[in-house]
Chain A
């Protein structure tokens, strides 16, 4: 550690040297009426020997440059540029050549883009002229100088890619240093913004990337592709991040994005980096307890979250019943959660949309990683199939968690219990021409848990999708997606040969979506499209297992339906500070088996006003509809839950949310403060009658009741995305209440009054922080405090049937003790010795450092005649872990 520290200091000192040497006293001198080679010779003699020059034989121009010594070089280079030379600066050296001489070093067509609306004759020239940014301190010319506009604005666009892997970089802020022009790269790394004609500076910045500032000379519309390097260390104290800037740029509320870097830093139980667990550390996201991957967004139910993995719907994002999420951290790029303003292109769930995306494979070379944790081992490979054109990324995980079960006492009836899971991810991207990209994604995940060889639980998810992204021209693009998602769950019980059965249920869905984006003008952007999902659900199959089984095999009627939607949304930049977003989505649901149909409009409206670059306010309103419902009678998301569609008897859930927020960025754009408040109502949320039969019930609707949900809250968050210390701290105050909609007399839940939802935890403090001592060593902390969740407790007891029984009354009227947990991790990143073939990273951590016995539930059991109160704590002790990762 000491060695790398001193190395780092040395590097820092070296890099600072040029800045120091600039401090020389002024001195007037110069040359007049000399040829270019003489001018360069003068520079070489007087200022720097490190200038390389290739004289164009056609150049017979005379140069006169006079300036104080410290400004001389700049003026001389400017003069050479005027004379038609390109000036490159690299590593303190200057390279001066005439136009086009360096063209050969650029990969042919690597980043080039056709420029529509230009004469074909010109295009080849300008493609090359505005090719990839390679060096800093060069003045990049945008557009054709011959056709330079005198004033006004021009459009600059291009791609931002990673220097090492060539992958597009999402979410990089591109901004005009002088003006207010700003853009963020989209998922293809594409950006576009309007700049004033003339000289200017364009800044590029993104999380964990080296900040980049380029000098521009804008003549006309043109392209500029940029490669950015991953930041090795930061010389400047502050770097602007896309997140911090975008908060003041988009009008949408309640969007949280977490990148894999952060996900990998957050300590979690057993040390397996887990996207879902990190999402649960965001304000406004709650869960009923530990070891639960079901989450509640802003007082909504767990089934009201749409979980998309590369566009495919995931119905059970858990492994091992919630210990681990089903997303392999090695292939994930980021997770985005929409908890308030849900873009019109998404629909079908009331509360939120969580989008998990995988990375694109490295398009330069094949590489991979191998990871070993307490529960899983992981392998991932990525690289080009055809260099710069076709890439792949493949990730797989498997578990060897049986050791956990083997720790149980031998001879206990748990002997023979086995738990296992696997998941595989595959992503292939193919560039077709310069404007089209085809992506293929595949995902497979399976879980198996058996108990004493008698009972076996299994579930699996399979997703496959094809995505075609096409850029028609600068202003219009299209994304077409088709996909197939399936989720199967089964339980086999062979305890008694005469009643052996297999119970299963499944969700199969095929989906298609066509999405267009049109930039009508600088002020107006339209997004529109249509989508359709065909559902085919098996709500339950119950089959005899074995010859002697007396079980009456039967299947519930399959539920088939079509859900279609059309949507249109517009972003209108009214003024520099004011942005409005308005969207409408019409969704129509038709169920084939009973003919029921539901449809209606959904509105998505939000607006933002920025007082300046660092202060904004926003407000939004949106309505949602949901036609697929999870049937569960436990408060946790359990593998036995099944999904049902709206029917003639089960109405769709509908809801609306109004939200408003205040945002301010402080400390050189490194600290974002946000305050958001919301109020939410949901109708027709499903609850259950006492004694309801949820499994294999043909007349399920008779056992259900409809409730309405009222949720409101305030989320306060401070987030630091850059610097040695980064992370966020948040405080949330929120409530979520339910009320039965129908009056069933004495059977009405809580007498028809509002009662607490099971995940109603009013006060909530969360902290996620990572502090980098050096580039290699960092420490992470995760802190979670929340009010205890409400539980239903008995009010009385009575003797009955030779045992003591309990009387339960009002639902969720009592709260378990408050929750508090602190996790710590120490992370050692690999050294950056380029010649080294493999790089190791190690994480040591401890979950629940204070060992607090946080209660998950309170319950009573009757042991014959005695009633006993118990408190269950899931992770009642410190859980240390170690995780080893090897990159190659």
Chain B
């Protein structure tokens, strides 16, 4: 009922005096719940993951290793096995019921199965678009879809790729003795100019959105979502600073699945405020067939999947380009390398040479300002990218 893009932050009233602090728990967490992730996408290929939950303080989220086999079963007896880490259901029938069966071999032997469920059909995505609010402070990604089927529930997952650049374009870089550039060994510490096409200005990064994207038409007169807001960016977000790309996958959910995902969403992002709902645990539709009391994390939906892609180009949005973190320390640098090490450490790189009256200055900047790779991206440009940046 509530749009995720609207953050009705009642806490706002208290924002002037309220404060949020980091908190480190002093209780013992509990690892070792089995989580099974993945949906049965009929007419598609699907991927599943089985893993253990971890302690709260475990930083890398990698639980104890599990070995398992899994299969998707149709109620006519057809079995689809896992091959090359995918289950191929491209030829599966829409009229069957399906379930997922996971057999864990170690560290224990248990069999988990999801409840049998018929195939829900996801309608095509009518449009995937973006909208900028009137104040030009935010950019929303919106989806529209409709069907003749009765009203129902939707879930989306989004796979993003974005191009961005560093604040300043570095024409030179500092190469310590021994650096190899374009097959050439630099023999002593020196400033080296980037050659044509080489830069650490443009980068690409990608990932899957971690937000739980849900939609419902049950309160509407028909199964139609128009410009349903999925998520928002602030106009300073790096992801929309140059070119942003997203591929959206849409499936349909049952009411039970929707409630499950909504609870997961509330529990992980919508807690702690003055009027936030209390967190609560909700069991999914997967059970240990020999011990139904075991808490198994996850929900397996059976649906077809429809997809849509969109590019958002800064050329169109006309947001001011991302200016990065506001380091103020770009300044003429007195002497080269030793001094640089002495005063600024490894975080500074050479930027460009500034022409001034009576000579020129070498300008130095923090690495985040001149090397886009320092912000997590790479120089690997997708082959299908829409502009000519390199």
Tell me the smallest distance from the CB of B198 to a CB of chain A, in Å. Answer: 31
Say which size band chain A's interface belongs to. Answer: 35 or more
B37 contacts the other chain (Cβ, under 8 Å)?
A: yes
Instruction: Say yes or no: A792-B30 contact (C-beta < 8 A), given A321-B13, A877-B17.
Output: no
Question: Which residues of chain A in 402-417 are interfacial with respect to chain B, using CB atoms and an 8 Å cutoff?
Answer: 404-405, 407-408, 411-415, 417
Tell me the smallest distance from the CB of A346 to a CB of chain B, in Å. Answer: 30
Which A residues are CB-close (under 8 A) to B234?
Answer: 413
A436 contacts the other chain (Cβ, under 8 Å)?
A: no
A232 contacts the other chain (Cβ, under 8 Å)?
A: no
Question: Which residues of chain A in 240-281 are interfacial with respect to chain B, using CB atoms and an 8 Å cutoff?
Answer: none
Which A residues are CB-close (under 8 A) to B6?
Answer: 451-452, 454-455, 493, 495
Tell me the smallest distance from the CB of A394 to a CB of chain B, in Å. Answer: 29
1/0 contact trace for A720-757 toward B, CB 8 Å?
Answer: 00000000000000000000000001110000000000
B355 contacts the other chain (Cβ, under 8 Å)?
A: no
Instruction: Say yes or no: A691-B280 contact (C-beta < 8 A), given A408-B15, A551-B220, A805-B268.
Output: yes
Which of A451, A633, A635, A799 is within 8 Å of B51, CB to CB?
Answer: A799
Which A residues are CB-close (under 8 A) to B138?
Answer: 413
Question: Which residues of chain A in 400-457 are interfacial with respect to chain B, using CB atoms and an 8 Å cutoff?
Answer: 404-405, 407-408, 411-415, 417, 419, 449, 451-452, 454-455
- CB pair A865–B9 under 8 Å, yes or no, is no
- CB pair B157–A801 under 8 Å, yes or no, is yes
A-B contact pairs, 30 of them (CB 8 A): A323-B14, A404-B16, A408-B12, A413-B138, A493-B6, A496-B228, A496-B229, A501-B1, A552-B220, A634-B274, A693-B259, A745-B293, A746-B292, A746-B293, A758-B278, A796-B33, A796-B53, A797-B53, A799-B37, A799-B61, A802-B210, A803-B210, A805-B264, A807-B281, A857-B276, A860-B268, A869-B25, A870-B21, A871-B21, A874-B14
- CB pair A872–B272 under 8 Å, yes or no, is yes
- CB pair A691–B16 under 8 Å, yes or no, is no
- CB pair B281–A853 under 8 Å, yes or no, is no
A542 contacts the other chain (Cβ, under 8 Å)?
A: yes
- CB pair B17–A874 under 8 Å, yes or no, is yes
Tell me the smallest distance from the CB of A299 to a CB of chain B, in Å. Answer: 18
Which A residues are CB-close (under 8 A) to B222?
Answer: 550
1/0 contact trace for A853-888 toward B, CB 8 Å?
Answer: 101111111101101111111111101000000000
- CB pair B275–A321 under 8 Å, yes or no, is yes
- CB pair A873–B219 under 8 Å, yes or no, is no
Quick one: closest A residue to B155, CB to CB? A801
Quick one: closest B residue to A879, CB to CB? B17
- CB pair B219–A501 under 8 Å, yes or no, is yes
Q: Give the complex CA separation of A744 and B194 in angstroms.
A: 69
Instruction: Say yes or no: A864-B53 contact (C-beta < 8 A), given A321-B10, A799-B35, A869-B25.
Output: no
Q: Give the complex CA separation of A814 and B58 in angstroms.
A: 20
Which of B30, B31, B56, B211 is within 8 Å of A867, CB to CB?
Answer: B56
Q: Give the complex CA separation of A634 and B269 in angstroms.
A: 15
Which A residues are CB-close (under 8 A) to B217?
Answer: 550
Which A residues are CB-close (under 8 A) to B259?
Answer: 691, 693
Question: Which residues of chain B in 239-275 are interfacial with respect to chain A, using CB atoms and an 8 Å cutoff?
Answer: 259-260, 262-264, 267-269, 271-275
A640 contacts the other chain (Cβ, under 8 Å)?
A: yes
Quick one: closest A residue to B297, CB to CB? A798
- CB pair B35–A291 under 8 Å, yes or no, is no
B99 contacts the other chain (Cβ, under 8 Å)?
A: no
Known: A413-B138, A799-B61, A802-B157. 6 other contacts (CB 8 A): A289-B274, A415-B135, A550-B222, A639-B275, A870-B20, A876-B17
- CB pair B262–A800 under 8 Å, yes or no, is no
Which B residues are CB-close (under 8 A) to A323?
Answer: 13-14
1/0 contact trace for B42-71 toward A, CB 8 Å?
Answer: 000000010111111010010100000000
Which of A639, A795, A875 is within 8 Å of B18, CB to CB?
Answer: A875
Which A residues are CB-close (under 8 A) to B8?
Answer: 451, 455
Which A residues are CB-close (under 8 A) to B280?
Answer: 688, 690-691, 792, 808
Which A residues are CB-close (under 8 A) to B157?
Answer: 801-802
- CB pair B297–A864 under 8 Å, yes or no, is no
Which B residues are CB-close (under 8 A) to A806?
Answer: 267-268, 279
Quick one: closest B residue to A878, CB to CB? B17
Which of A407, A636, A853, A865 is within 8 Å of B19, CB to CB?
Answer: A853
Quick one: closest B residue to A640, CB to CB? B275
- CB pair B220–A499 under 8 Å, yes or no, is yes
B209 contacts the other chain (Cβ, under 8 Å)?
A: yes
A778 contacts the other chain (Cβ, under 8 Å)?
A: no
1/0 contact trace for B65-88 toward A, CB 8 Å?
Answer: 000000000000000000000000
* Most chain A CB within a 10 A radius of its CB, from B56, B138, B229: B56
Question: Which residues of chain A in 671-704 are interfacial with respect to chain B, using CB atoms and an 8 Å cutoff?
Answer: 688, 690-691, 693, 695-696
Where the two chains meet, the residues of A that have a C-beta atom closer than 8 Å to any C-beta of B are 289, 291-292, 320-323, 404-405, 407-408, 411-415, 417, 419, 449, 451-452, 454-455, 493, 495-499, 501, 503, 542, 550-552, 633-636, 638-640, 688, 690-691, 693, 695-696, 745-747, 758, 792-809, 811, 814, 853, 855-862, 864-865, 867-877, 879
B224 contacts the other chain (Cβ, under 8 Å)?
A: yes
Q: Give the complex CA separation of A693 and B275 in angstroms.
A: 16
Quick one: closest B residue to A858, CB to CB? B23
Tell me the smallest distance from the CB of A142 to a CB of chain B, in Å. Answer: 59
Instruction: Say yes or no: A860-B278 contact (C-beta < 8 A), given A796-B55, A868-B22.
Output: no
Tell me the smallest distance from the CB of A125 to a CB of chain B, in Å. Answer: 66
Which B residues are CB-close (under 8 A) to A454?
Answer: 6
Q: Give the complex CA separation of A413 and B138 in angstroms.
A: 8
- CB pair B281–A808 under 8 Å, yes or no, is yes
Instruction: Say yes or no: A794-B279 contact (C-beta < 8 A), given A493-B2, A800-B297, A875-B18.
Output: yes
Which A residues are CB-close (under 8 A) to B237?
Answer: none
Q: Give the complex CA separation of A870 and B135 in angstroms.
A: 31
- CB pair B20–A550 under 8 Å, yes or no, is no
* Most chain A CB within a 10 A radius of its CB, from B13, B32, B133, B282: B13
- CB pair A551–B221 under 8 Å, yes or no, is yes
Q: Give the complex CA separation of A876 and B15 in angstroms.
A: 10
- CB pair A862–B13 under 8 Å, yes or no, is no
Which B residues are CB-close (under 8 A) to A867?
Answer: 56
Instruction: Say yes or no: A793-B25 contact (C-beta < 8 A), given A454-B6, A874-B17.
Output: yes
- CB pair B210–A871 under 8 Å, yes or no, is no
Which A residues are CB-close (under 8 A) to B23?
Answer: 855, 858, 869-871
Tell me the smallest distance from the CB of A846 to a CB of chain B, in Å. Answer: 13
Instruction: Say yes or no: A798-B51 contact (C-beta < 8 A), given A493-B3, A867-B56.
Output: yes
Which of A411, A690, A871 is within 8 Å of B20, CB to CB?
Answer: A871
- CB pair A797–B54 under 8 Å, yes or no, is yes
- CB pair A498–B226 under 8 Å, yes or no, is yes
- CB pair B268–A807 under 8 Å, yes or no, is no
